Amino acid sequence: MTVQQTKSRSRSLSRAQTWTPKSHQEYTLGWICALPKEQTAAKAMLDQIHPDLPKPANDDNTYSLGSIGEHNIVIACLPKDTVGTNEAAIVAAQMLNTFPSIKIGLMVGIGGGIPPNIRLGDVVVGVQVIQWDFGKAAVDGRFERTSAIQRPPRALRTAVSRLETEHDLHGVKIPRYLTEIKKRLPNLAPKFGWSEALTDPLFGSSDGTVDRSRNQGVEATNTSAIGWLNLVPNYTWIDYLKGFQTLSLSSWTNPVNTNNKYLTTIQRNPGDVKVHYGLIASGNQVIKDAKLRDNINQSLGGKVLCVEMEAAGLMSFPYIVIRGICDYADARKNDDWQEYAAMVAGACAKELLEYVQPSEVDKERPIRDMLSQVHDDIEAVRAILNKKENIEILNWLTPIDYGPQQGDIFRSRQPGTGQWLFESIEYKNWLTSKQVLFCPGIPGAGKTVLTSIVIDDLITRFPSTSSSIGIAYIYCSFKRNHEQKLDDLLASLLKQLSQNKSSLPQTIKELYQRHLGNRTRPSREDIIEALRSVINSYSRIFIIIDALDELPESNGRAAFISELFYLHDTYDTNILATSRFIPQLAEKFQSYKTLEIHAHDEDVRKYLDNQISQSEKKLLQNHREYIITEITKAVRGMFLLAKLHFESIRYKTTLKRIKTALETLPIGETAYASAYETTLGRIKTNDSDPEKIANQALWWIVCAKRPLTTSELQHALAVEVGEPSLDEENLPEIQDIISLCAGLVTVDEESDIVRLVHYTAQEYLERTWEKWFPNAHVDITERCITYLSYDIFKPHIPEEEEEEEEEEEKEDSSIITPVLGSRILYDYALQNWVYHATTSSIETTPLVLEFLKSEAGVSAYSQTLSTLQGYIDYGQWPPKRVTGVHLATYFGLPKSVEELLKPNNADLEAQDDNGRTPLALAAWWGHNEVIDLLLDKGANLETKDDDDQTPLLQSVIQGSDEVVKLLLSRGADMECKDGFGRTPLLWAAWRGYEKITRLLLEEGADVEAQDNDGRTPLSWAVWWGNEKAINLLLQRGAYLEIKDYDGQTPLLWAAMKGHDRTIKLLLECGADLNAKDESGRTSLSWALWWEDEKMIELLIDKGADMEVRDKFNQTPLLWAAMKGHSGIAKLLLDKGADLGAKDNDDRTPSALARHWGHEDVVKLLMVST
């Protein structure tokens, strides 16, 4: 260490000195923090504090200047309540613009550790940083990370090497720095220093006890512990905390918490800090999920020490990341460790700078010289940040986007048509005044195309730069009914009107933030409230709804129309809606203006003239006027007929044949049916190869369970039943398919969906498909099964089996790795082959039965499960010991099950690797017909799987009330218990299934049954706040004062969980307000824990004992004083709490508040004395 550095250290023992101002060019080290608490820790490390310097007007940062040793340092913090890699980049870029000589950087603060080697209070020095969420979709559908690993500059890497050596030889200096700061800045000590109250949930005591405490409403698993508190002085607060270990939640596991495989009994002394060196994973989201955390670590080779949110934003900057560990990046994230973790990280950074030689820093180039266009970079990053966040929020509202559909439909119009609408007095009035315009029309009149023309007209008149005018539209479609429920429609209007604002409305951001943390969806009331708020911010609104008749009543059509009318009446909102002539709809719009839509002769003639001009056939061109006149007379306002009629004569080779066709054109109400029948008859009578393709294409389009993309249709038509692979030379061209289908098929270019040309065509073919395509579902089933059975999808043993343990574990496992090009139809075939098989009644054919018994069938089963369980890719290990009966049961194929059980029911009780029998699978997936069949065959109702769950228990867990009813009627044991000791009623109460709870109670289920933790159905119903279940149980005489093995009554559980409404309900039913658990806590104690002043006041007003003492002799006021809750302390004092109460150490509330540094509480108590 230099002489100057030694002098600096001695000065820091007393106070950080203030120097005279320096110039911007004299600062060479940038220190960036994400949180104010990190900035506090950074400033505390400075040896000297420098006066502020002026900064450019376009610099939003606020800087703290100072020095450590010979290094002049600039400290900046991200704006309040903003996090992420992009924000860090903005702060850094602005810093470099203002301080051009900065050569190296520090990113210092808090992060989440990867257990078990990393513990709370440790420090991780990021010798490598990678952005874990930056990448692209690979060709095989996987997420491919494209972020490079960032390494610190040479000056910092050499310093890290020295730091690591010094730590090995002499230990860390962090505790010494913290002691210095405690003396120099005593105000920081209570909040930022080591506290005995800091508990590490990974530490398990030698006697096996674990801390069962909860943080932020998330239930802890059996991995938490506070056994190490026995090592520290016996403060009453520590004893109080220790009491929480009696909460026996061992039967509850939470997959988002850290697994107990990380539980350790290795003790750490209080304040013991360990410094680790390695890889830090940075991203743009807070990680609160142990599974996601471990997946990130595994995907990076198991080398990650820490996860955080800002460092990757500085990938272009020469810097080093130092993180103090404040949590384990799981669901139990809390704030307890953050200040201390920030302080130890800052102290580690200070120690590192001792070994950074100024001469080495001088050799580095200024960062600004390495980066061009700093200002542009800032604006670009900010724009990307805002756009990305806005898109994320809008897509969270609804992923549905009608823009592509608008583009497709508008492009399909005949230019110059629709002018009659613009010239109509009805449209002109609607456009210029607040009106509702209802536009009914016969099928095929061109309503949808005219809708697209109206939307384009509005967008042209009122471009997006005119933020005072809002435009939103919806294309209703019978094919999209599943995504056009009432909430979907309202959310779509909200999304469109929000995205057109110059900045995303605050209402939408607040709605997103309110639901994001809980992973919930906004209610209908939330959406309507936000929609009205956004609409109110516009001066005018235009809402256009096409094909309102295609929206079924069951989707909430009436409520949607009512809301549209409300928006019109309340705000300056114009509504235009199209529909077929439906009496119910006409009645709803009868008090508003109506404009009938029909195909005008002028528009029909323009369309036909253009079609003939584009045709290369001289015959058509030579008889243009005759053809146009005859077809125009025949269509009678149905634009679609003009297209169908023209297709019928397009390929005629003589004038006589054209005349014959035109003379027999269908007209009137049956015109469409006649036109479709003529077209299909023409295709079907020709047995040539092209016409076979046309037939197959049509039945796939008509009978498919969902719309198909062009590539899916191509692959479907290329499948050769029985072949082991797809011959890509057999793929037909999509344009040929469209041409062969004689005008019945079209492609939406934006979405790449191939569909029938019109709703009327779909209606006709759905009505008559058995006539035209009697074997459609048989053919589709066979092609789907053939596709799923391709060799490329068959399991194979992975080549990379490096560890013996892995080899044993996966000995009879296999993995599927289909490549993207071959998987185009895989998803459709996987999810829908059963639908086609059951529709065609061929589930007992040899092809189906062999598939169910094959490797391909097992693979399909595994892949379907993976999809249902939300896995990202297809590389999932299939289950073992699966039989054909299992698969047929899972897919709900009773006839296949019956065939596969022949001749002697051999696989009736077969169990897969999870111990599940076919009956268990049938119960889990709700296949009642299969359940009846299996039971008739003699299946055992009480066989338990590896979790000791019977079929009845599984059906209850799934919430299948019809299955529960069936199994009970067949004699299932209603009091069976699983490995947790839970009966069906316990599970129903826990899950909040009102119907099942009622059903079980009516059948006589034991209302006082207790699980392995002594909890009853009422306890679990209260735990989750399921009021309907609570009421049912109380009506059946459930005991209100039952105590589990931790002494918790239902009321205590409700208070511990913070369920206000449940507490009120139980109190109304006479629950004992002052009941105590084994640690002496009452419901008031728990309300204090939740800091819920309203609940505290309610309990006191209901008669709760304010002077109740737990087994650690704590009263509520003593607790509030110790925790520093001035609001609660005032409430208790106002209600008459005893100021003179003393704890086990003879300390009064005032003494406790003073000990813990809560001056505001001290003052309050002094005033009340």
The residue that leads in pLDDT, 386 or 179, is 179
The structure tokens listed for 695 are: 């037939």
Instruction: Please compute the mean of the pLDDT values over residues 812-823 and round it to a whole number.
Output: 45
Spatial separation of the C-alpha atoms in residues 100 and 459, rounded to whole Å: 46
Task: Say whether pLDDT at 374 is over 80.
Answer: no
Q: Which CATH number fits domain 3-194+271-384: 1.10.630.10, 3.40.50.1580, 3.30.565.10, 3.40.30.10?
A: 3.40.50.1580
Q: Please report which residue ranges of 26-99 form alpha helices under DSSP H.
A: 36-44, 85-98
> Does the bond joining 116 to the residue before it have cis omega, within 30 degrees of 0?
yes
Strands 436-440 and 593-594: parallel
Task: Say whether pLDDT at 843 is over 70.
Answer: yes
Task: Say whether pLDDT at 154 is over 90.
Answer: no
| pLDDT computed for residue 591 by the predictor | 93
Taking alpha carbons only, the member of 743, 718, 742, 721 closest to residue 732 is 718
SS in 3 state form for 1120-1165?
A: HHHHCCHHHHHHHHHCCCCCCCCCCCCCCHHHHHHHCCCHHHHHHH
Confidence of residue 229 (pLDDT cuts 50, 70, 90): very low
The topology (CATH level 3) of 399-424+447-594 is Barnase; Chain D (3.30.370)
Instruction: Please compute the mean of the pLDDT values over residues 875-903 and round it to a whole number.
Output: 79
| pLDDT computed for residue 235 by the predictor | 30
Supply φ then ψ for residue 959, to 5 degrees. Answer: 80, 25
Instruction: Please compute the mean of the pLDDT values over residues 40-47 and round it to a whole number.
Output: 94
Helix (H, G, I), strand (E, B) or coil at 402: coil
The residue that leads in pLDDT, 314 or 1005, is 1005
The structure tokens listed for 1054 are: 């409700």
Spatial separation of the C-alpha atoms in residues 1037 and 1003, rounded to whole Å: 15
Instruction: Please compute the mean of the pLDDT values over residues 866-882 and round it to a whole number.
Output: 48
Question: Cα 1002 from chain centroid?
Answer: 38
| pLDDT computed for residue 261 by the predictor | 46
pLDDT in tens, 1057-1068: 878 888 999 999
The topology (CATH level 3) of 669-776 is Arc Repressor Mutant, subunit A (1.10.10)
Spatial separation of the C-alpha atoms in residues 567 and 536, rounded to whole Å: 10
Query: DSSP letter string over 291-327?
Result: HHHHHHHHHTTT-EEEEESSGGGGTTS-EEEEEEEEE
pLDDT in tens, 893-943: 999 999 989 878 878 988 887 888 999 999 999 999 999 999 999 999 999
Instruction: Please compute the mean of the pLDDT values over residues 9-34 and round it to a whole number.
Output: 68
Supply φ then ψ for residue 401, to 5 degrees. Answer: -135, 115
Spatial separation of the C-alpha atoms in residues 737 and 712, rounded to whole Å: 13
Confirm whether pTM is higher than 0.95: no
Instruction: Please compute the mean of the pLDDT values over residues 148-168 and round it to a whole number.
Output: 81
The structure tokens listed for 1003 are: 């059948």
Question: Does 1012-1168 carry CATH code 1.25.40.20?
Answer: yes
Greatest mean pLDDT among 166-175, 478-487, 505-514, 1034-1043 lies in 1034-1043
Asked if 789 contacts 719 with a C-beta cutoff of 8 angstroms, the reply is: no
Task: Say whether pLDDT at 366 is over 90.
Answer: no
Tokens 């009970």 found at: 968
Instruction: Please compute the mean of the pLDDT values over residues 857-884 and round it to a whole number.
Output: 57
| pLDDT computed for residue 80 by the predictor | 74
Spatial separation of the C-alpha atoms in residues 1103 and 1112, rounded to whole Å: 22
| pLDDT computed for residue 818 by the predictor | 41
Q: Is the Cα torsion angle 988, 992, 998, 1001 positive or negative in sign? A: positive
Task: Say whether pLDDT at 817 is over 60.
Answer: no
Spatial separation of the C-alpha atoms in residues 637 and 445, rounded to whole Å: 6
Instruction: Please compute the mean of the pLDDT values over residues 848-866 and round it to a whole number.
Output: 74
| Portion of the chain with pLDDT greater than 70, in percent | 82
Spatial separation of the C-alpha atoms in residues 477 and 482, rounded to whole Å: 10
Taking alpha carbons only, the member of 1110, 1080, 1116 closest to residue 1097 is 1116
Task: Say whether pLDDT at 821 is over 90.
Answer: no
Residue type, 909: E
Instruction: Please compute the mean of the pLDDT values over residues 954-966 and round it to a whole number.
Output: 93
The residue that leads in pLDDT, 101 or 1092, is 101
Spatial separation of the C-alpha atoms in residues 545 and 321, rounded to whole Å: 53
The residue that leads in pLDDT, 680 or 1083, is 1083
Asked if 515 contacts 397 with a C-beta cutoff of 8 angstroms, the reply is: no
| pLDDT computed for residue 260 by the predictor | 47
pLDDT in tens, 682-711: 776 555 677 788 889 998 998 999 899 999
The residue that leads in pLDDT, 769 or 878, is 769
Tokens 């920030």 found at: 342
Task: Say whether pLDDT at 614 is over 50.
Answer: yes
| pLDDT computed for residue 148 by the predictor | 46
Spatial separation of the C-alpha atoms in residues 877 and 916, rounded to whole Å: 17
The structure tokens listed for 556 are: 């909430």
Mean pLDDT of the chain: 80
Half-sphere exposure of 674 (CA within 13 A, CB side): 13
Q: Is the Cα torsion angle 1158, 1163, 1168, 1169 positive or negative in sign? A: positive
Asked if 177 contacts 340 with a C-beta cutoff of 8 angstroms, the reply is: no
| pLDDT computed for residue 224 by the predictor | 25
pLDDT in tens, 537-568: 999 999 999 999 989 888 899 999 999 999 99
Spatial separation of the C-alpha atoms in residues 1145 and 1152, rounded to whole Å: 10
| Portion of the chain with pLDDT greater than 90, in percent | 31
pLDDT in tens, 615-654: 878 898 888 999 888 888 888 777 778 888 888 888 788 9
Confidence of residue 227 (pLDDT cuts 50, 70, 90): very low
Residue type, 784: C
The structure tokens listed for 1002 are: 């009516």
Strands 540-546 and 63-68: unpaired
Task: Say whether pLDDT at 348 is over 90.
Answer: yes
Spatial separation of the C-alpha atoms in residues 817 and 796, rounded to whole Å: 9
Residue type, 362: D
Mean pLDDT is lowest, of 202-206, 977-981, 1014-1018, for 202-206
Helix (H) or strand (E) holding 754: strand 753-756
The structure tokens listed for 404 are: 């592509």
Task: Say whether pLDDT at 714 is over 50.
Answer: yes
Tokens 């400075």 found at: 46
Q: Where are the domains of the chain?
A: 3-194+271-384, 196-270, 399-424+447-594, 601-661, 669-776, 1012-1168
Q: Kindly report the number of other CB atoms within 10 A of residue 1104's CB atom.
A: 21
Query: DSSP letter string over 611-671?
Result: HHHH---HHHHHTHHHHHHHHHHHHTT-HHHHHHHHHHHHT--SHHHHHHHHHT---STTH
pLDDT in tens, 260-308: 444 444 555 655 789 999 999 887 677 877 878 888 888 788 889 999 8
| pLDDT computed for residue 652 by the predictor | 84
- Write the burial class of residue 23 (CB in 10 Å: 0-12 exposed, 13-18 middle, 19+ buried): exposed
The count of residues in the chain is 1169
Supply φ then ψ for residue 973, to 5 degrees. Answer: -70, 115
> Does the bond joining 903 to the residue before it have cis omega, within 30 degrees of 0?
yes
Confidence of residue 426 (pLDDT cuts 50, 70, 90): very high
Q: Where would I find the beta strands (DSSP E) of 467-623?
A: 469-475, 540-546, 573-579, 593-594
Spatial separation of the C-alpha atoms in residues 875 and 818, rounded to whole Å: 9
Helix (H) or strand (E) holding 49: strand 48-50
The structure tokens listed for 884 are: 């054909």
